[in-house]
Structure 1
Amino acid sequence: MIMYLLRRLFLLAFVFIALSVFAFSLAYLFPGDPLQNFTGLRHISPEQYALLTSEYQLDKNYILQYLAYLSRIFSGNWGMSFSSQQPLLQEMKMLLPATLELASYALLISFFIGIPIGILSAIKPDGVFSKLVSAVAVAGYSIPIFWWALLLIMLFSLGLGWLPTAGRIGVLYEINHVTGFMLLDILLAATQHQHEALLDALSHLILPTLVLATFPTTVMVRFTRDSILEVWEQSYIKAARAKGLSRGQVLYRHALRNALLPVIRQIGLQFSTLITLAMITEVIFSWPGIGRWLIDSIYQRNYPAIEAGLLVISTLVISVNMLTEILHTLFNPLARKR
């Protein structure tokens, strides 16, 4: 197991190095002066240009420039944003928690709804409930997320008027940014209208979370159902049923613990999908997260922000995938053996 962890950590380090090399190369691949793409400064005087060139070691070879770039990344000097002229690291600290909050809640919904429905549909795979679940899962898997979001907005916001259409919280409430997670910040804030602010934040969270959770929930339903049906055909399951155990006892004692092991790995894969889909969801619902910020940066040709956003999102996705892979190996003896 120790050798496996060392191999995974070595692979993780190699991937991070390759990612940092690509992010470093973007400053030269993007249009404009590489120094401006590194620093994010729009107007640089000749004296400042010479000083920054020496500081960023742009007068040296590419290897020394890359090492200086890594030093700046680890020290927190990520440059400035072209549009706001604010430090990029400070902007991402403000925006990233909003994306993580939305993706985390959507992942929890897909986990606590998709797995039980997948288990129930696998009990009688030829029954009416199983066929209905399969049809709904295929429909949810195939629905374009932007169309589904607009449909829910038309129904619950414009038609019924139950839920807001955009934002994280109403303009009447002012919540201090402590952790960046809105619900947690409301609970930490000692405001007079804390209960009303919490209900308002929850109402803003419902629609984007449901939209974002639709795709991973349907994937989780199908994956759990297929995994249980595959385990159900194994020899030890047939032996347990031959001993006289009921279908429910066999499912609870033998099938579930083996069928749900691949679900751990699937959580990491779905998280990476959620981060991608969150960009579209944040634009539709005006959710102030890093996905919307990154898409706005692309339209504004904010090259330092694109470079930093790519680095942060890729690092997050790679880390979560690697963590779920390690957890799957810890819980699965056969994976450790391989």
Structure 2
Amino acid sequence: MFHYLLRRLFLLGFVFVALTIFAFSLGYLFPGDVLGNFTGLRNISPAEEIVLRQQLGLDQSYWQQYIYFNQRILDGNWALSFSSQQNVLDEIINVMPATLELASYALLLSLIVGIPLGIIAAVRKDKWLDKLISGLALVGYSIPIFWWALLLIMVFSLTLGWLPTSGRLSVLYEIPTMSGFMLPDILLSQVPYREEALVDAIRHLLLPAVVLATYPTTVMIRFTRESMLDVLEQNYIKTARAKGLTRLQVLYTHGLRNALLPVTRQVGLQFSTLITLAMITEVIFSWPGIGSWLIDGIYQRNFPAIQGGLLVVSSLVIAVNMFTEILHTMLNPLARKF
């Protein structure tokens, strides 16, 4: 196990190095002045340009420039945004909790719905319930996320008027920001309208969370079904049945635990998918997360913001995938490679 973790950590370090090299290269690949792309400053005077080039190492080799670039990343001295002239890292810290909150609840929803439906479909294989669940999963897998979001808005917001169409909270409520996560901030606040604000925040969260959870839910249904069917065909399941155990005992004691082991690896993969799909969802629902922030940066040709957002989102996805891979290996001895 130690050698496996060592190899994984080495691979993680190699991927991060490759990612930082690519992020550093964007400063030269983006249009415009290289100094402006690395600093985010505009209208730089000749005297300031000389000083900045020395600080960034632009008068030295590319290798030295890359070292200076990593030092600035570690120190938190990222470039300034072209649009706001604020530190890109500060802006990312402000918008990242909204995306993590939305993606976390969507992932939780996909697990709560997808795993039980996948188990039911496997237990009722080739029955009408299995065909119904598999058919719904296929439809959900094929639906374009933007069309699905607009359809839900039209039905539940515009027609029925049950749910809001945009934002995280109504302007009627003012909640002090402590963690950046809306629901925990509301619960930790001491405002007199805390319960009303909590209900309003959940109503704002419901539609984007359902839209974002649709695709990973269908994947979890199909993957759990296939994993469960594979486990139910194993010899130890047949032996348990021959011993006289009930169907429920066999399913819970022997089948469920082994069938859910491969699902842990899918959690990391689906989280990566959620971060990608969140960009579309956040734009449609005006959710103030890093997805809509990055889309705005692309429209505005805000190159420092694109560079910083790419670095943070890619690092998050890589770290989560690596964590779930290690967790899966720890839980499943058969997956360990010494």
Pick which of 195-204 and 309-318 moved more.
Answer: 195-204
Give the structure 1 partner of residue 119 of structure 2. 119
Identity %: 68
> What is the deviation of 1:209?
0.3
In structure 2, give the amino acid aligned to 1:333. Answer: P
Give the structure 2 partner of residue 326 of structure 1. 326
> What is the deviation of 1:81?
0.2
> What is the deviation of 1:252?
1.0
In structure 2, give the amino acid aligned to 1:313. Answer: V
Give the structure 1 partner of residue 291 of structure 2. 291
Tell me the secondary structure at the aligned position of residue 59 of structure 2.
coil
TM-score, normalization by structure 2 = 0.99
Q: How far apart are the structure 2 equivalents of 1:281 and 1:128?
A: 33
Pick which of 275-284 and 36-45 moved more.
Answer: 36-45
- 1:136 has 2:136 as partner: yes
Give the structure 2 partner of residue 167 of structure 1. 167
In structure 2, give the amino acid aligned to 1:183. Answer: L
Give the structure 1 partner of residue 59 of structure 2. 59
Tell me the secondary structure at the aligned position of residue 260 of structure 1.
helix
In structure 2, give the amino acid aligned to 1:229. Answer: L
Q: How far apart are the structure 2 equivalents of 1:198 and 1:312?
A: 29
Please say if residues 4 and 337 of structure 2, whose CA atoms lie closer than 8 Å, have aligned partners that are also in contact. Answer: no
> What is the deviation of 1:244?
2.1
Q: How far apart are the structure 1 equivalents of 2:188 and 2:115?
A: 32
Tell me the secondary structure at the aligned position of residue 225 of structure 2.
helix
In structure 2, give the amino acid aligned to 1:31. Answer: P
Q: How far apart are the structure 2 equivalents of 1:176 and 1:337?
A: 48
Q: C-alpha offsets along residues 120-146 of structure 1, whole Å, 9 cap, x if unaligned?
A: 111110211111000000000100000
> What is the deviation of 1:59?
0.2
User: What stretches of structure 1 of length at least 5 have no aligned partner?
Assistant: none
Give the structure 1 partner of residue 146 of structure 2. 146
Q: How far apart are the structure 2 equivalents of 1:214 and 1:269?
A: 15
Tell me the secondary structure at the aligned position of residue 137 of structure 1.
helix
In structure 2, give the amino acid aligned to 1:306. Answer: I
RMSD (Å), alpha carbons = 0.8
Q: How far apart are the structure 2 equivalents of 1:176 and 1:276?
A: 29
Q: How far apart are the structure 1 equivalents of 2:172 and 2:85?
A: 28
TM-score, normalization by structure 1 = 0.99
Give the structure 2 partner of residue 247 of structure 1. 247
Give the structure 2 partner of residue 2 of structure 1. 2
In structure 1, give the amino acid aligned to 2:64. Answer: L
In structure 2, give the amino acid aligned to 1:128. Answer: W
Q: C-alpha offsets along residues 249-285 of structure 1, whole Å, 9 cap, x if unaligned?
A: 2111111111110000000000000000000000000
Please say if residues 175 and 189 of structure 2, whose CA atoms lie closer than 8 Å, have aligned partners that are also in contact. Answer: yes
Give the structure 2 partner of residue 224 of structure 1. 224
> What is the deviation of 1:337?
4.5
Give the structure 1 partner of residue 98 of structure 2. 98
Tell me the secondary structure at the aligned position of residue 161 of structure 2.
coil
Tell me the secondary structure at the aligned position of residue 268 of structure 1.
helix
Runs of 4+ in structure 1 over 4 Å off = none
> What is the deviation of 1:174?
1.6
In structure 2, give the amino acid aligned to 1:287. Answer: W
Q: How far apart are the structure 2 equivalents of 1:5 and 1:186?
A: 39
User: What stretches of structure 2 of length at least 5 have no aligned partner?
Assistant: none
> What is the deviation of 1:246?
2.2
Tell me the secondary structure at the aligned position of residue 192 of structure 1.
coil
Q: How far apart are the structure 2 equivalents of 1:75 and 1:171?
A: 36
How many residues were matched structurally?
338
Q: How far apart are the structure 2 equivalents of 1:102 and 1:163?
A: 16
Give the structure 2 partner of residue 235 of structure 1. 235
Q: How far apart are the structure 2 equivalents of 1:328 and 1:164?
A: 39
Give the structure 1 partner of residue 306 of structure 2. 306
Q: C-alpha offsets along residues 189-230 of structure 1, whole Å, 9 cap, x if unaligned?
A: 211211111111111000000000011111101110110001
